[in-house]
Amino acid sequence: MGQLGKWYRAVYILLITVTVLFMADTNVTAAELPETVFSPQPSPSGTVAEPSPETEPTAEPAETPDTVQTTAPPSAPPSASPSDMPSAMKPSSIPSVPDFTGLDAIIIPKKDNTGFNISVKKAGKDRLAVSWPKRKYADKYKVWRKIGSGAKWKLIKTTKGIKYSDKVKTGKYYKYKVTAIFGKKRVIGTTKAITACIPDKVSAMGYKRTATNKIDVLWKRGNCTKEFIVYKKGEGGGFKKAAVVKNAKYEDSGIVTGKKYIYKIVPVYYNEKVRIYGSNAYTGVLLRDEINTGIQKYSYTELCSDIKALKKLYGRYFHYNTIGRSADGRNIYDLVIGNQHAGQSVLVIAELHAREYMTSQLCMKQIEYYLQNYNEQLDGVLVSDVLNKVAIHYVPMANPDGASISQYGFSAVRNTTLRKKLLKMPGSQNPSQWKANARGVDLNRNYPYEYVARSGRRSSEGYTGPEKCSEPETKAITGLINKLKNSTTVRGQINYHATGSIVFGDYEGPLKETITDMYKLACSITGYASASGYSKSTGGDSTGNLREFVMYKKKLPSITLEIGKSACPLPLSEFNGIWQKNKSLVLLEAKLLAK
């Protein structure tokens, strides 16, 4: 081969090699690069090679900014006859240009983000699964992550796959993006960033009773939570979706006292691209009333326990004071519901007579019922409207020693001296029928109105005492009345006794209109009959009577209701009927009396 032929060959190969290397490794932007580095060129003989199966034949491209043309060999010098050429220049001595026909086009892909999207979903309690579609021409993918705001992107994974599982912490925000790489480092696609978070599991779950059959399920919100899905499960059933809420509270008004319920709370994080659920949290609910109406003997011990329970549950609206102590050392309580600083008050007194202890149970149930429904309506009356204006004072067990004797016999008397004396009194053979206190005094004959000292003798009933207000229980009640009169306007007073299902509302004097209104309302609510025919022969003697003392001495409106139909102590079977007739009575009387 002649020197000139070798020179042509070397220059041509060099130019082709440089062009290919430049197009493969340069970082020229996508707009400056062609999709095809070179196409098959005509051979020196003037013929065009057949296209390869993968590449369509193309016309020689025009030189534009987006096209790079392969360099053709230099034109041959003007032809000369073989006889005029040196032997080294004769055509038979000039090497032919290497034939590159049939070589596939070399592809340098443009950067294009179209359809290259990222998705994230939860893959475990502490893992997020990041995935993306396969990108044409990509040799690998780089996964980038940013934790929290203000952080920098950090490369966390280089992979040939199209998914990645990332271990994370709940309650933290994570941002992800993925880049598709061609060759060693050429970026041919980048996803938009996506934010994801596994929300914290809720904590401090519990509930608050807001009405007799209504509760608020409560919990503490964790980080990264935008809403909560609430599921409810009753006895014998599965979980059913109850609600989706934004706040950390769910109000359920479909509760039945005594039935068990389970609530499941699922925290949710979402944005326009993801929806991720946190771990479930559970709480059980078994509503029960504090006041046990399923027992025959509602005792002093029950009373004390219930007072503490009500204070714990309804402390804002419930207060209690000890206004005295019985002869056997038991507390006499004044229980207050509503606004204790209100300028108006109503007083309710029950169980002056020992064997009438169901009246204590009734009053305690009324207190609980009004507190349970403080922000609800009962019989068309918003409870809070009444109790914000009027404080209702209850003395639910005015004779705690007597109740203990009637329920458990004289062994319930703790003072040995008292017990010995009681055992010698008339009526001691049948303690369940006891009406007096632990000193054998009938407390409803001991008040300072038409009082007759030492009427009768110490026994189970009827004895008026050595003098008016001789008993600690009587002193406690009169002291409370005086205190209320000095600090508030006492709008009225209600007494609960048993038995007879009648209402006492007789009175002559300046309070007649108010007392008559109270009496008519009580008869209307309970359906009880008038006690106008109740005579002295049946126990209607007014000597030392509390109601007469309140009306004629203290100048306060007063009525007395006798609950039940059977002989005392009333059987438990009567309580439900008594409750239905009396549950709203005190509230409605207070509304009537309030100014």
Cα angle 524-528-533, degrees, rounded to a multiple of 5: 120
Give the 3-state DSSP-derived string for 37-70, with helices as H, strands as E and coil as C. Answer: CCCCCCCCCCCCCCCCCCCCCCCCCCCCCCCCCC
Predicted TM-score (pTM) of the model is 0.71
Tell me the average pLDDT across 90-117: 66
Euclidean distance between CA atoms 337 and 335, whole angstroms: 7
Using one digit for the tens of pLDDT, what is the confidence trace for 507-543? 999 999 999 999 999 999 999 999 987 654 344 567 9
For domain 119-196, give the fold.
Immunoglobulin-like (2.60.40)
Residue with tokens 């007072």: 307
Q: What pLDDT score does 209 carry?
A: 86
Using one digit for the tens of pLDDT, what is the confidence trace for 544-595? 999 999 999 999 999 999 999 999 999 999 999 999 999 999 999 999 999 8
Using one digit for the tens of pLDDT, what is the confidence trace for 231-254? 999 998 899 999 999 999 999 999
Using one digit for the tens of pLDDT, what is the confidence trace for 318-362? 999 999 999 999 999 999 999 989 999 999 999 999 999 999 999
Using one digit for the tens of pLDDT, what is the confidence trace for 464-504? 999 999 999 999 999 999 999 999 999 999 999 999 999 99
Euclidean distance between CA atoms 554 and 515, whole angstroms: 14
Give the 3-state DSSP-derived string for 81-94, with helices as H, strands as E and coil as C. Answer: CHHHCCHHHCHHHC
Given a cut of 70, whether residue 1 has pLDDT beyond it is: no
Given a cut of 60, whether residue 66 has pLDDT beyond it is: no
User: Backbone dihedral region of 197: left (phi > 0), alpha (psi from -120 to 50 degrees) or beta?
Assistant: beta
The residue that leads in pLDDT, 86 or 465, is 465
Residue ranges covered by each domain of the chain: 3-93, 119-196, 206-286, 300-401+492-593
Instruction: Give CATH superfamily name and number for 300-401+492-593.
Output: Zn peptidases (3.40.630.10)
Given a cut of 70, whether residue 152 has pLDDT beyond it is: yes
Q: What pLDDT score does 51 carry?
A: 40
Are the beta carbons of 306 and 291 closer than 8 angstroms? yes
Q: Which of 405, 399, 411, 458 is nearest to 432 (CA)?
A: 405
Identify the band that residue 7 occupies on the pLDDT scale cut at 50, 70 and 90. low
Strands 344-350 and 489-498: parallel
Given a cut of 90, whether residue 93 has pLDDT beyond it is: no
Q: What pLDDT score does 3 carry?
A: 57
Using one digit for the tens of pLDDT, what is the confidence trace for 279-306? 999 999 999 999 999 999 999 999 999 9
Using one digit for the tens of pLDDT, what is the confidence trace for 14-60? 666 555 445 544 444 444 444 434 344 444 444 444 444 333 433 33
Q: What pLDDT score does 540 carry?
A: 54
Given a cut of 70, whether residue 71 has pLDDT beyond it is: no
Using one digit for the tens of pLDDT, what is the confidence trace for 250-274? 999 999 999 999 999 999 999 999 9
The residue that leads in pLDDT, 180 or 34, is 180
Give the 3-state DSSP-derived string for 476-516, with helices as H, strands as E and coil as C. Answer: HHHHHHHHHHHHCEEEEEEEEEECCCEEECCCCCCCHHHHH
Given a cut of 60, whether residue 68 has pLDDT beyond it is: no
For domain 206-286, give the fold.
Immunoglobulin-like (2.60.40)
Q: What pLDDT score does 36 carry?
A: 39
Given a cut of 50, whether residue 4 has pLDDT beyond it is: yes
Given a cut of 90, whether residue 91 has pLDDT beyond it is: no
* Neighbouring residues of 129: CB distance < 8 A, sequence distance ≥ 6: 120, 121, 122, 123, 163, 164, 165, 166
Tell me the average pLDDT across 171-192: 96
Q: Which of 137, 196, 189 is nearest to 164 (CA)?
A: 196
Peptide bond before 77: cis, by omega within 30 degrees of 0? Answer: no
Euclidean distance between CA atoms 190 and 248, whole angstroms: 39
Q: What pLDDT score does 222 carry?
A: 96
Same fold, 119-196 and 300-401+492-593: no
Which range among 29-33, 34-38, 101-105, 153-157 has the greatest average pLDDT? 153-157
